Amino acid sequence: MAVNGLSNLINSRVRLTGMSSGLDTDSIIKQLMSIENAKVDKIKQERQILEWKRDTYRDVISKLRSITDEYFNVLKPATNFTSTSAFASYKINSSKESAVTATANAGAASKSHTITVSSLASAAKIVGTSGLVDGIKGSNTVSSFSLQGRELNVTLDGVTKKISLEDYADIDDLETKLESALAKAFGSGKIDVVTTGGNIEFKTLINGSTLSISEPTNNYISSLGFSNGQKNYITGNSDVNSDYSLYTNGSFKITVGSGEAQTINISDATDIDDLTAKIQQAIDGNSELSGKIHVSNDGSKLSFTTISGEAVKLTSGDSKNVLDKLGFSNGSTITATSSSAIDLSGNEKGKTFIINVNGVDKTIEIDKDYSDLDELASYLQTQLGGTVNVTKDPSSNKLVFSSSGTDKLIFKKGPEDGLEKLGFAAEDNKSNKISLSAKLDSFKENFKNDLNVADPNANITFTINDITIDVGKTYANATVNDVINAINSSNAGVKVSYDSLNDRFIMESKTQGAASTISITDTDPSNGVLRAMGLVGGTYTAGTDAEFSLDGVEGMKRSTNEFTIDGVTYSLKGISTEAVTIDVNADMDAVVNNIKNFVNSYNEMIGKINSVLTEERDRKYPPLTDDQKRAMSEDEIKKWEEKAKSGLLRNDSILENIVTNLRRALYDKVEGSSLSLYQIGITTGTYQEKGKLVIDETKLKAALNDNFDAVVQLFTQSSQYTYSESINDSGKRSTRYNESGIAQRINDILQDNIRITRNSNGQKGILLEKAGLVGDMTEYDNLLVNEIKAKDTLIDKMLAKLYEKEEYYYSKFAAMEQLLGSMESQSAWLSQQFGGSSS
C-alpha cells in the first residue's frame, strides 16, 4: 500500500470508545503509539532529506550542462572552445565590395589578398519570349450595345479610373467611344481598343505597362442611401421560448423614429400565434405605435416590420423583461427605409437596383436622368406597383419606401453585367499579365502562342533534363502555379519564375557553372503548355564558371561565385579587371570578449559548486513532520524548509572531486604547448574566491597579438584518443589528458559527471548515476531515487505494523469495555434481585 494511502487510512477511522469505562481510549492509545509514530516520522524525514539532496545535485547538473551547451557544443562554432572556430574572429575589408566581399573562417591567416574577376559563374538559363498575353480579350461577342448606366474600372500601371459606358449604335461606335473615354482618362496613345468579329480587346501601347479591367459595384442602391441587404423588418435571432407561462405580466419596449420608448405589456398566451396577436393588439392600442409596426411569425420566430418606413428599436422592459425570450437582443434595430438626400445632377440613366418583396426580386432600371424628385418617386412607384409605397419626404430631399401593411422588403444592389455584355465571361483573364493562380483554360484565348495538349483530360506532363514531370492535374484544372510548382519541386534541377514586368517566364538551372544545362524534350504534345509559356523556343544561355586570379595565380575557375580558399570565403559580385584587395585581420577585441565570457561562465559554475560545498548545515531545522506542518502557516513552512535544506551537500566528495579536477586541468602543462594560462594573463583569484579565474586583459591581448596560434593551441589542442576511447582505459585517459588543451580537459571532466551516453560498464555520468537528469532514463533510476524507493517500502511496512498494533490496542480496550459492560449488567441484575426480595 502506498505511504500516503496507508497513513490516510490510519488517520481517517472513526470509533466509539469508552462507553462503559468512561476512559479517553483514543488519547491513551495515541500516547501508547507515539513512540512508534516517531520512528515513522524519522524515516520520513530521512526520505525528505534524500529528495532535497537529489534536487540540489540536479541544480548543479543543470549548471554544468549550460556550460557544455554553450562552450563545448559543435553546433555553436562561434563559442565552441574545443575548436579553433571560437577564436576565428576577423575584420575583413574589401577595396571594392561591388566586385568582391569575403569572410574568414578558422585557420585563415591574417594577411592581404589580391583578386581580379574576369567573369562570374552563371546558371544555364532559358529566357522565354516576352509579351505572352495578347491584350485583354473577351471570349464572347458583345451581346448588347445598351450599356447606359454601366461602369468599367480600368487600371493602368496601378492607376484606376472609372469609365462610364453609354448606349452605342454598333461595334464600331463602341470601339471609337471607348477609345475616346480611355484617352480622356489616361492620355492618348496608351490604351488601344480593338474589335474583331464582334469581340472586343483592350491592349496597351506602351511596352511593359500593366493593364487590367474590372466591374465596379453597382452602387445606385447606396446613392439612394440604403445598404445592400437592408430590410424593413427584423426577425428574432432565436426561436420564441415555448414556455408561454413566462410571458405573463412580461414587458419590452419599442421606439419608432425619434419618439419616446413605448412599453408593450404582454398578458397570458397559449401559443406563438396567440402571443403574436396579443403583441400586435398591444401595439395597435398604443397611439404612438398604431399603424406603424406589423408583427408576424414563421411558426418558431417572431418578426417586426416597419410599415411607416421609420426606424424601429426594441429594448428591454423595466420589469419582467421578456425581450430575450422573444428571441431578440436589447437594442435590436430596423433601419429606416427612407433614402438619404438625393443628388439628381449626376448621370443615373441605366443604373439599377433590386427590391425584394416577400421573397420576389424586382429589378428597377432608371430609365432617364431625373431632375425632379417627385417625378422619380412616381416612376419608381409605377415600377413597383401597389406593393410598395414610394413617396417624397416633404421636409427633405429624400424618398420614403414603405410597405402596404405586411409586406417585407429587402434592398439589394443591382446586377453587375457590364463586362458580360461586352463579351467577357466570368472565367476570362482580365489583365494583360498572366495570373499565376488562374486556370490555364481561363486565358487560353489571351496567349499569343497556341496552348495545345494531346488530351485535355489527361494530366499535363513534359520532360526536362531527361526527367519526366507530371503536374498531377489536367489542362482544364491546372493553374500556371501548378506547372511552376511541379517543375521547381522536381528532380530536373531547374526552377521557373515569372517576370511580370516583361510578361515572360525564365527557367534557370539550380546550380551554376559550365556543367549546368537545360534540355526540354520537344516530343510530347503536352509541351504545348511550355511552348505557350514561351520556354520552348526561348533564348538559351549556357552556364559559365567564375574566372579569376588570386594572389598572382591566374586562370583560376570555380563553378559558383562563392568559394573558400585557405580559410577565406570569397563572394564574387561583379567583374573587376583591377585588382581588389582583401585585408584579413584577426579581430582581437572579439576574441578577448569571447574568452572573457567563457571565464565568467566558468566562474559562475565554480561559484555554484563552492556555495553548495561550503554551505553550513543547520541541524536545528530538521524536515517537518506532518503534525508539525498542520500547526504552521505556509509562510512558516517555507522559511523553515529553506533552513532545513541548507548544507545538505557540504563537503560532498563528488563535487569536491569536480572542483579539484578542474583546478588541476587549468594548471597542468599541456603537452606540446609553449604557454600556460598565467602566461596569457589568466590566474586564480584569492583564497576566498576558491578557484575562480581572474583575467589581466592587457596581458591577454598582448599574448594574442604576439603569439596567437600558441594561445589557440593552449585551449583547443586535441589528443590522439577520443573521449569515448579513453573512458575505460586509464592509460589512454592519461595520454588524452596530457595531450588535450584546457577547454577539452574541462569538457572531459564535465562529461565524466553529466554525460547521457553509457560507458562499457553501462554507466552514465557520475552525477546522473547519483541523482538523475529530468527527461532522461536516469530521472527514475539513480542511487538517490533508489534510496527514496527503499525508504518508501520501509515506511509502508512500518505503517502496516502500526496499523496492526493500533488495532491490537483497540481490540484489548474493546474487550475491557465489553467485560465492564457485562459486569455492570450483572450488578444491575443483582441489585434488582436484592431489591425485589426485600420488598
pLDDT over 50 (residue 839): no
Segment 701-712, tens digit of pLDDT? 999 999 998 999
Residue 123: all three cell numbers together: 546558371
Segment 166-177, tens digit of pLDDT? 888 888 888 898
pLDDT score of 356: 82
Segment 724-759, tens digit of pLDDT? 999 989 999 999 999 999 999 999 999 999 999 999
Distant-in-sequence, close-in-space partners of 19: CB < 8 Å, separation ≥ 6: 817, 821
How large a percentage of the chain has pLDDT more than 90?
47
Mean pLDDT of the region 74-91: 92
Segment 246-294, tens digit of pLDDT? 888 889 999 998 899 999 998 888 899 999 999 999 999 999 999 899 9
pLDDT score of 28: 73
Say if CB 411 and CB 220 are below 8 A apart: no
Mean pLDDT of the region 63-79: 95
Lowest mean pLDDT among 79-83, 238-242, 578-582: 238-242
DSSP string spanning 59-71? HHHHHHHHHHHHH
How far is residue 805's CA from residue 811's CA, in Å, rounded to a whole number?
10
pLDDT score of 488: 96
pLDDT score of 73: 95
Cβ burial, residue 183 (10 Å; 0-12/13-18/19+):
middle
pLDDT over 80 (residue 772): yes
Better pLDDT: 826 or 156: 156
How large a percentage of the chain has pLDDT more than 70?
89
Better pLDDT: 160 or 58: 58
Burial 765-796 (b: 16+ CB within 10 A, else e): bebbbbbbbeeeebeeebebbebbeebeebbb
pLDDT score of 820: 74
Evaluate if pTM is beyond 0.75: no
Mean pLDDT of the region 198-220: 79
How far is residue 565's CA from residue 104's CA, in Å, rounded to a whole number?
10
pLDDT score of 622: 94
Closest CA to 113 of 101, 127, 131: 101
Say if CB 333 and CB 313 are below 8 A apart: yes
pLDDT band with cut points at 50, 70 and 90 for residue 525: low
pLDDT score of 15: 54
Residue 791: all three cell numbers together: 525508504
**Sheet harboring 111-119: ordered strands across?**
90-94, 576-586, 111-119, 546-550, 553-558
pLDDT band with cut points at 50, 70 and 90 for residue 22: low
Lowest mean pLDDT among 414-418, 592-596, 718-722, 778-782: 414-418
pLDDT score of 416: 65
For the ranges 209-218, 303-312, 765-774, the one whose mean pLDDT is highest: 765-774
pLDDT score of 442: 59
Mean pLDDT of the region 10-36: 62
Q: Looking at beta carbons, which pairs linking 781-786 to residues 24 or more positions away fall under 8 Å?
A: 782/54, 784/50, 784/53, 784/54, 784/57, 785/54
The DSSP letter of residue 290 is: T
Segment 442-489, tens digit of pLDDT? 556 566 666 666 677 778 888 999 999 999 888 778 888 999 999 999
Mean pLDDT of the region 530-552: 92
CA atoms within 13 A on the CB side of 187: 6
pLDDT score of 601: 96
Three-state SS at 7: helix
pLDDT over 50 (residue 838): no
pLDDT over 50 (residue 638): yes
DSSP string spanning 310-349? --EEEEE-SSSB-TTTTT--TTEEE---BPPPP-TTS--T
How far is residue 98's CA from residue 654's CA, in Å, rounded to a whole number?
59
pLDDT score of 206: 82
